Structure 1
Amino acid sequence: MRAFLAAVAVTLAVAGCGRGTPSGTAVTSPSELSGRSFLSVSVTESGASRQLAGLQPIRLSFEDGRLAASPGCNSLGGDFRLDGDRLLVEDLAMTEMACEDPALMDQDRWFAGLLLARPTLQVTATELTLTGGDTTIVFTDQRVAEPDRPLAGTWTLTGLIEGETASSAPAGVTATVQIGNDAIEWSVGCDGASAPLQVTGSTLVIGPARPRTFDCQRPPPETDAAAASLARTLDEILEGTVSYRIDGPTLTLTKSQRALQLRSS
């Protein structure tokens, strides 16, 4: 993957010259960006709007001289420095998770190419703008666009991570996790469970679960089978010690090499 990114850097070296300077303030030191995260709100190519693949915006974060991004499927990361208003990304690496939607993987490569094309970077109190070649992406500060939601509440499953493979929730199946102060409950279709809960720092300690059945209409057999499989996955992950992370409206629950990705309802 590093070899691919190096090839992209060579191919796009000329494109990195940019076409015009977006409004904003030039950043003079990486420390000015440290601790800030941004979410894309608009993308234009050759003056026309580009529709992103998937439902999530591109996430771009900076911390202690390193850059991290989630363009769609995989994660990108590497050291960065600034040359005037140019963003120079060094040793950019990409995870190699296989995603069901190839458009998301194409978007990963497209955004990696933009980062390696020496784009211009302009920042205001609430926005960041990247411009490379014909492409301009405007980001909004995450704290403004999507402040972190509280842990307590109802969350809807959007995706699963198994090792290095990411997948979306099965079509036609709705799974939710409801978190309270001392209890957690989850449901997949007509089946679910509840369990006692302790929250310590970024860790959930989930006690023994009690199965529950909800009064609802069963889906068709093929969907019901997918729901039953997903319910078993939730039962396995939501047991014992589970780490959690909240990024705006997104909650990630991780146990070993498996994770649930959920969105605030």
Structure 2
Amino acid sequence: MQANEQRRPLAVLAGLSALVLLSAAPQATALASTTSAARLENTAWVVERLGERPPVGSTSLTLRFENGRVAGSDGCNRYGAPVTVRGTTLQVSPRGMSTKMACAPAVMQQAESFQSALRNSRGFRLDGGRLRLLAADGRPLLVLVPQAQQLVGSSWRVAGFNNGRQALVSPILGTSLSVRVLKGGQLAGSAGCNSFTAPARLEGTRLRIGTPVATRRRCPGAGVMEQERQFLAALPTAVSLRLEGDALELRRADGAIALSLRRVPAP
């Protein structure tokens, strides 16, 4: 009798332990999923290999995780789609959106392959500083490296600027507009005719640019001086930035693009 009474508490204790383990399992699974998703949230990547191949020419394919969505550039168009991340599983929704710009045939084919790789991804692995998106059989579909976020010391060519009339326009043929990010919170560059400098403050993706100061040379050519005025006026309207591969967008408070820039490779 005493032996049975001594065994009963052990049996009860074993039952309680099993109950605790069973109740903790869903919490551990949820925690693992949350932790895994958090590792990707607000990260930005650039494709190193699409299947077994590097990107075509100078194209840049990018992937950003933000607020339960993926977004970026497929080398031709910008895209965005919801994404679900649980544990090491990952699935991009086929109900995404994309711009519809036409590009060279090889670039368009690459963009289609990239979008197909995203849609067919069923898992991911982080190792060696790289992100690998995996097919259902574990085969790597995309290999990506972290997007470099360092701007100090970088140089950019202006591809488009807001002309102040709600339009993003390209520089006049034969003119070159540029921006360099200097140490000490300064921008410098060419406004197409004159050189300029401007104070700048960057906090994460938030940006504040002061009034530019430019040299006062007058240059010939139809519209060159008006272009310079519009470009220098657009600079201080930028309040945020988005870096995607070799493309940099400076945006105004209303979300409109103030400046669109392309990175100039280091010599």
TM-score class, shorter-chain normalisation, is: 0.5 to 0.7
Partners of 2:166 and 2:118 lie apart in 1 by: 23
The yes-or-no answer on 1:237 pairing with 2:234 is yes
Equivalent pair of 1:73/1:166 in contact (CA under 8 Å)? no
Deviations 1:5-54 (A, max 9, x none): xxxxxxxxxxxxxxxxxxxxxx964233223222111223xx6x35425x
Equivalent pair of 2:157/2:263 in contact (CA under 8 Å)? yes
Percent of matched pairs sharing the same residue: 20
**Partner of residue 56 from structure 2, selected from 44, 52, 56:** 52
Q: Any gaps of 5 or more consecutive residues in structure 1?
A: 1-26
The yes-or-no answer on 1:66 pairing with 2:86 is no
Partners of 2:122 and 2:167 lie apart in 1 by: 30
Partners of 1:106 and 1:226 lie apart in 2 by: 38
CA RMSD after TM alignment:
4.4
Name the structure where strand makes up a greater proportion of residues.
1
The yes-or-no answer on 1:204 pairing with 2:208 is yes
Q: Which has the higher contact order (CA 8 A, sep 6+)?
A: 1
**In the alignment, which residue of structure 2 is the partner of 1:36?**
43
| AA matched with 1:78 | A
**In the alignment, which residue of structure 2 is the partner of 1:9?**
none
SS of the aligned residue for 1:98 comes to coil
**Structure 1 length as normaliser, TM-score?**
0.60
Gap change, CA 1:101 and 1:166, over 3 Å in 2: farther
Which structure has the larger Rg?
A: 2
**In the alignment, which residue of structure 1 is the partner of 2:12?**
none
Equivalent pair of 1:194/1:212 in contact (CA under 8 Å)? no
**In the alignment, which residue of structure 1 is the partner of 2:179?**
177
Equivalent pair of 1:31/1:64 in contact (CA under 8 Å)? no
Q: Any gaps of 5 or more consecutive residues in structure 2?
A: 1-31
Deviations 1:142-190 (A, max 9, x none): 3xxx24223xx4522153376999898778654322345465443155x
Partners of 2:127 and 2:228 lie apart in 1 by: 45
Gap change, CA 1:177 and 1:43, over 3 Å in 2: same
Equivalent pair of 2:194/2:217 in contact (CA under 8 Å)? yes
Name the structure where helix makes up a greater proportion of residues.
2
Equivalent pair of 1:97/1:166 in contact (CA under 8 Å)? no
Gap change, CA 1:174 and 1:100, over 3 Å in 2: farther
Gap change, CA 1:251 and 1:123, over 3 Å in 2: same
Gap change, CA 1:81 and 1:198, over 3 Å in 2: closer
| AA matched with 1:203 | L
Equivalent pair of 1:85/1:122 in contact (CA under 8 Å)? yes
